[in-house]
């Protein structure tokens, strides 16, 4: 007796009636009502992710339209007649399935245009199911437009695609569109449990939960992964076997490493990380599992309680880590692992990158965002304004000017405390009030000029520091200090940089008074000019060769030419005296 051929779970569990189509209630109810009311469209467009039932729905619709159990189409095909059997096996001559990825040319579509002229052989409708229709070329789509807009009454087109945006709008507008959704984890787990019971295999719930999570909403992916796990698990599927055979870090392993890293147990954390690498877990898988871990914490911190959304069982979530980290810190860790996954392909050593990342997790509790700091400062300001936060000022504020503070030794403090205690004991004795502090009046003297000059030198104003010594008199008038000098050069230099002089006085004397520069004029202008020249000579340390006026007189004398002695050059290169204007 020949052994029966093995059939994969995805094929064996393909739904043969609308009631068995999981997670697509809207599609099922709409198609069933349309069939019952006889509102059959000439073109349908099924779109959605992979493995969610698009092709299965197309076959179910074909069976419902061509079932031989009744004179009219039925929403509940029998599944036993010749039409239903041949459609389920893919052998029906009136239901043609075409792979759009391998029939992309316009010639393939022209062949369909020729075939639609012939009615079905043994069924009510001649149905064309074109899978991955978005792979058709632009010319093929254009050739199909007229056919799907006004086909014969016995022709029905069913298009299936995973990329709806690649289907031209002219095609979409001629079809009834049905969008398929991802299937929930609970529905996938129920289907996996049923598949395990069919082949007499015991499966733990956490193992089925992991398979459903890894399938990311695709039933076909879940069945494919289930077949792989069942092949090495024997009669009992456990999560421990899955981790060992598929080299997966797992939620618990990542939790242990993160906890040790946060507690700054670097040696233990690196030892656990080395065990993962030694067990065959890839760097990409560790990063992926770490990102899943912090994603779960982020959602749980935000108040999500559904296990299918969290991607983990509530009992597996570490409450101690959740309490240590804030939402901003968890979000920063998740973003860091996502960036690491993108950058790992260019890394010198992926393992070094992962070890560095887990080492940085030890400082994660100290991480804060600028927004959090601003909010904290705002709360402090609000608390101070409301009085819930009391700011205590020092008893004796530090003075920036005036007499220096007296340094009190420990013995003086002890004596002061004893004196205060004695004063409290003698309540009847009246303690005289301390005299008010008399602040010394501020003044600027000529003796302060060297310290002001030193402050100017520290500011990089060496020339002004020299000119400050030219101040001959300082007078105070209505709160303004008048600096008087008889040297114009010093006056102009200090006047042009009066701000620097103000800063130097504030730095040297601890005050920032109002000042005004005054130039004492000389009676004779030439005497003032000579005094200025002498000042320049003293400043630069040289000899005066010639003044500007003397330089002008010399230039006039050198360039002077008598009127009749100027010459001109004629065309013959002859030299003739320049004639007078009167001539």
Indicate the length of the chain as a whole number.
Answer: 583
CB 66 within 8 A of CB 123: yes
CATH 3.40.50.1220 fits 446-521, yes or no: no
pLDDT of 20 > 70? The answer is yes
Give the chain's radius of gyration (CA, Å): 48
User: For 185-246, which CATH class?
Assistant: mainly alpha
CB 501 within 8 A of CB 515: yes
List the beta bridge partners of residue 156.
127
Q: Where are any strands of DSSP class E within 467-556?
A: 473-477, 480-485, 514-519
**Parallel, antiparallel, or unpaired: how do β-strands 480-485 and 473-477 relate?**
antiparallel
Q: In what order do the strands lie in the sheet with 480-485?
A: 473-477, 480-485, 514-519
Q: Which fold has domain 251-366?
A: Zinc Finger, Delta Prime; domain 3 (1.20.272)
**495 Cα distance to chain centroid:** 53
Q: What whole-number distance in Å separates Cα of residue 559 and Cα of residue 58?
A: 111
pLDDT of 457 > 80? The answer is yes
Q: What is the pLDDT averaged over residues 72-82?
A: 86
All residues at 6 or more sequence positions from 308 whose CB lies less than 8 Å from its CB, including other chains: 184, 185, 186
Which residue, among 89, 76, 58, 83, has the nearest Cα to 18 in the 3D structure?
A: 76
Domain range 9-179, CATH architecture: 3-Layer(aba) Sandwich (3.40)
Q: What whole-number distance in Å separates Cα of residue 383 and Cα of residue 222?
A: 55
Same fold across 185-246 and 446-521? no
Residue-wise pLDDT tens digits, 345-399: 888 889 999 999 999 998 888 887 777 778 888 888 887 877 777 666 555 544 4
| Residue 394, pLDDT score | 52
Q: What whole-number distance in Å separates Cα of residue 214 and Cα of residue 499?
A: 72
Q: Is the pTM of this model over 0.75?
A: no
Residue-wise pLDDT tens digits, 245-277: 887 878 888 999 999 999 889 899 999 999 889
Q: What is the pLDDT averaged over residues 398-424?
A: 46
What residue segments make up the domains of the chain, in order of their start?
A: 9-179, 185-246, 251-366, 446-521
Query: Which tokens hold the place of 302?
Result: 């935000």
| Residue 357, pLDDT score | 92
Burial of 230 (0-12, 13-18, 19+ CB in 10 A): middle
| Residue 537, pLDDT score | 66
Range of 309-313, 339-343, 452-456 with top mean pLDDT: 339-343
Backbone φ and ψ for 429, nearest 5 degrees, come out as: -80, 135
């Amino acid at each position: 007796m020949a052994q029966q051929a093995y059939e994969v779970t995805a094929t064996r569990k393909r739904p043969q009636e609308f009631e068995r189509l999981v997670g697509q209630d809207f599609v099922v109810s709409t198609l069933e009502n349309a069939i019952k009311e006889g509102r059959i469209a000439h073109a349908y467009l099924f779109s959605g992710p992979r493995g969610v039932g698009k092709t299965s729905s197309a076959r179910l619709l074909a069976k419902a339209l061509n079932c031989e159990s009744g004179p009219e189409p039925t929403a509940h095909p029998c599944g036993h007649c010749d039409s239903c059997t041949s459609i389920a096996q893919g052998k029906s001559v009136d239901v043609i399935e075409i792979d759009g990825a391998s029939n992309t040319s316009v010639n393939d579509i022209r062949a369909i245009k020729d075939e639609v002229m012939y009615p079905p052989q043994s069924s009510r409708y001649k149905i064309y199911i074109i899978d991955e229709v978005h792979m058709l070329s632009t010319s093929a789509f254009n050739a199909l437009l007229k056919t799907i807009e006004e086909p014969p009454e016995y022709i029905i087109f069913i298009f299936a695609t995973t990329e709806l945006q690649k289907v031209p709008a002219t095609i979409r507008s001629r079809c009834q569109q049905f969008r398929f959704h991802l299937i929930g984890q609970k529905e996938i787990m129920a289907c996996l449990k049923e598949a395990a019971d069919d082949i007499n295999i015991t499966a733990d719930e956490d193992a089925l939960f992991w398979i459903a999570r890894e399938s990311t909403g695709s039933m076909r992916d879940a069945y494919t992964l289930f077949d792989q796990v069942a092949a090495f698990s024997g009669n009992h599927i456990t999560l421990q076997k899955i981790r060992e055979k598929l080299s997966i870090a797992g939620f618990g392993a990542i939790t242990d490493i993160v906890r040790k890293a946060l507690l700054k147990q670097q040696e233990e954390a690196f030892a656990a990380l080395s065990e993962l690498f030694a067990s065959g877990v890839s760097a990409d898988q560790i990063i992926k599992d770490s990102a899943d871990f912090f994603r779960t914490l982020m959602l749980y911190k935000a108040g999500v309680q559904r296990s299918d959304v969290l991607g983990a069982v509530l009992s597996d979530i570490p409450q101690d880590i959740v309490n240590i980290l804030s939402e901003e810190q968890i979000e920063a860790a998740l973003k860091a692992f996502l960036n690491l996954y993108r950058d790992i392909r260019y890394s010198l050593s992926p393992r070094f990158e992962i070890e560095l990342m887990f080492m940085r997790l030890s400082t994660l509790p100290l991480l804060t965002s600028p927004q959090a700091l601003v909010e904290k400062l705002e709360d402090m300001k609000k608390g101070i304004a409301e009085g819930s936060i009391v700011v205590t000022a020092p008893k004796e504020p530090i003075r920036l000017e005036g007499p220096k503070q007296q340094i009190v030794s420990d013995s003086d403090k002890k004596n002061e405390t004893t004196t205060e205690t004695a004063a409290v004991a003698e309540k009847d004795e009246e303690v005289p009030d301390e005299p008010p502090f008399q602040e010394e009046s501020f003044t600027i003297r000529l003796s302060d000029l060297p310290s002001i000059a030193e402050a100017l030198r520290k500011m990089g104003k060496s020339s002004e520091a020299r000119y400050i010594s030219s101040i001959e008199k300082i007078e105070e008038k209505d709160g303004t200090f008048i600096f008087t000098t008889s040297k114009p050069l010093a006056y102009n230099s200090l006047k042009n940089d009066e701000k620097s002089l103000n800063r130097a006085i504030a730095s040297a004397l601890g005050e920032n008074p109002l000042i005004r520069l005054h130039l004492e004029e000389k009676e004779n202008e030439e005497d003032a000019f000579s005094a200025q020249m002498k000042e320049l000579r003293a400043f630069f340390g040289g000899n005066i060769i010639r003044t500007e006026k003397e330089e002008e007189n010399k230039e006039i004398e050198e360039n002077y030419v008598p009127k009749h002695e100027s010459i001109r050059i004629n065309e013959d290169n002859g030299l003739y005296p320049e004639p007078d204007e009167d001539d």
